[in-house]
Amino acid sequence: MSRLVVVSNRVGDPRKAAAGGLAVALGDALSGTDSVWFGWSGQIALSSGELKQRQIGRMLVATIDLDQVAVGPAAADIGSVLASLRQAELVGHLEPELARDLSGAFVAGYAEVRTPPREDAVRAHTAAALLAERCLRAVTRVRLESLRCLPALLADAEGMLE
């Protein structure tokens, strides 16, 4: 299946009157094609990485709220997003191919504007985010769908550190 994936630092709602020019232009262009628009919702939340999805025409809009935007190393923010996408895949919110597409597009998009952190740093921070954000919250907030995939999350984190 061919699909256009757009990753931006912020995703606006093209259906709202207050949406900016980019949101409206992208929304119009993408809603008629099989596409995904992924990025930050613009919301700073108490906990990071909850993936939200909505369908606008043939376009899937996927956003995440972040809790500590750009307060640490870039690898930490990148790792948090990648861990969130992996968890969304494991619990069945994203198809594996779409999760890989979004992860790849996110990393490639970052590399377009900044020198990316070393791959080993991103792996280490992704493993840390899987443990500290995804696994810990599955247990402390009793997120049943995440608890069901806890062994896979732990195995992914361990595998990234090998």
Assign 3-class secondary structure to 31-94: CCCCEEEEEEEEEECCCCCCEEEEEECCEEEEEEEECCCCCCCHHHHHHHHHHHHHHHHHCCCC
Instruction: Residue 114: give the domain boundaries.
Output: 4-161
Using CA atoms, how far apart are residues 98 and 87, in angstroms rounded to an integer?
13
pLDDT band at 162 (very low <50, low <70, confident <90, very high): confident
pLDDT band at 32 (very low <50, low <70, confident <90, very high): confident
Residue 67: per-residue pLDDT: 63
- Could you report the per-residue pLDDT of 62-77, keeping only the tens digit for each? 887 766 556 678 898 8
45 vs 152: which has the higher pLDDT:
152
Over residues 35-63, the mean pLDDT reads: 76
Over residues 87-109, the mean pLDDT reads: 90
Name the β-bridge partners of 51: 64
**pTM, whole model, 2 decimals?**
0.64
Is residue 13 within 8 Å of 41, Cβ to Cβ? Answer: no
- Could you report the per-residue pLDDT of 109-119, keeping only the tens digit for each? 888 888 989 99
Residue 118: per-residue pLDDT: 94
Residue 97: per-residue pLDDT: 92
Residue 61: per-residue pLDDT: 83
Number of domains in the chain: 1
Helix or strand (DSSP H, E) at 26: helix 21-30
Q: Reply yes or no on whether the pLDDT at 49 is more than 80.
A: no
